Structure 1
Amino acid sequence: MTHPLIPQILDLATPVAQDLGLDVVAAVFQTNQRPPVLRIDIRNPQDETSLNDCEAMSRALEAVLDASDSIPEAYVLEVSSPGLSDILNSDRDFISFKGFSVSITTEEPYKGQTHWSGHLIERNEESIRLSCKGKAIAIPRSLVVNVQLN
């Protein structure tokens, strides 16, 4: 269950991240810890999220949170990157993992299958192309539910 302060924290954190050219991916307030831990996950949409990105966000957000007095008790602020996901979403993911082994799931059968495995060739406007046992196949993007690294 999401902590009741999370929407307010996200309202404060999102513009801070945007000013730094970052995106807020998630926020969790772990009140079972002593002191409680507020973890904010950020992503740099232009480049790999760096330690400098996390540090800049931490300093800027700390000042905003302190000024807002949203969290009445002492807490620890952690700003981090969510790391790599095994699900490919962005154009950058598809470029970065070209040639890697992936599995594709479709919402309805395409050529009699709902699961495909092969090496990623590319994603374009119409399809995701895989090399399956040396043969290229183009699966329509409109049918794809997810693309996952193997």
Structure 2
Amino acid sequence: MAHPLIPQITDLANPIAADLGLELVAVVFHTHERPPSLRVDIRNLVADTGLQDCERMSRALEAALDAKELIPFAYALEVSSPGTSRQLTTDREFNAFAGFAVEVTTDRAWDGKTEWQGQLIRRDDTKIYLSLKGRTVEIPREVVAKVYLHDK
């Protein structure tokens, strides 16, 4: 279950990221760690996400969090890039990783399965297209839970 502060932190972080030319990918609060760790994943919209992007976002978000006093206890802020083993979510990612191996999980069985591994062909408004040993499989987007890059 996500920490109850996540929606407020996300609402605060989204415009900061946008102002810096970045995209907010994920926010996770690990309260079981000591000190608790707030992890924010970002992506540069026009280039590879670099250390400078993470530093700019970290400084700006830290100042905003301190000003809002959203988190009433000590915590560690970690801003990073989601890396290459990430979940594909945007049209840009689906286009960039066409031809790569992916794993698709569905929230309910479709064609008798809930997990699919194959080569990403493309995604459109209604389906995700995979190549499975040369055969094209069309998975309706409404049943898709997640799509991840997959290491063969």
User: What's the TM-score, normalizing by structure 1?
Assistant: 0.67
**Matched residue type, 1:74:** A
What number of residue pairs does the alignment pair up? 146
SS for the counterpart of 1:71 is coil
In the alignment, is the contact (CA less than 8 A) between 2:84 and 2:149 conserved in 1? Answer: no
Q: How does 1:133-144 map to 2 (within 5 A)?
A: 137=136, 139=138
1:14 Cα deviation (Å)?
1.5
Which residue number in structure 1 is paired with residue 30 of structure 2? 30
Query: Which residue identity is paired with 1:44?
Result: N
- Give RMSD over aligned pairs: 3.4
Aligned counterpart, 2:45: 45
Matches for 1:1-150 after TM superposition, within 5 Å: 1-85=1-85, 88-102=88-102, 119-120=119-120, 137=136, 139=138, 145=144, 149-150=149-150
- With structure 2 as the length reference, what TM-score do the two structures score? 0.66
Q: Deviations over 1:48-78 (max 9, x none)?
A: 2221111100001111111112222222111
Tell me the SS of whatever aligns to 1:82.
coil
Gaps of 5+ in 2: none
Partner amino acid, structure 1, of 2:58: S
| 2:52 partner letter | N
Query: 1:6, 1:129 → 2: CA distance?
Result: 33
| CA drift at 1:34 | 2.2
Kept after mapping to 2: 8 A contact 1:127/1:138: no
Q: Residues of 2 paired with 1:6 and 1:120: CA distance?
A: 31
Q: CA distance change for structure 1 residues 46 and 76 in 2, over 3 Å: closer, same or farther?
A: same
2: CA distance between counterparts of 1:28 and 1:143? 25
SS in 1 for 2:66: helix
Alpha-carbon distance change, 134 to 62 in structure 1, aligned in 2, over 3 angstroms = closer
Could you tell me how far apart the structure 1 residues matched to 2:116 and 2:6 are? 38
User: Structure 2: how far apart are the matches of 1:4 and 1:131?
Assistant: 40
Which ranges of structure 1 fall in alignment gaps of 5 or more residues? none
Secondary structure of 2:16 counterpart: helix
Alignment partners' CA distance in 2, 1:100 and 1:33: 35
Question: Identical aligned pairs, as a percentage?
Answer: 56
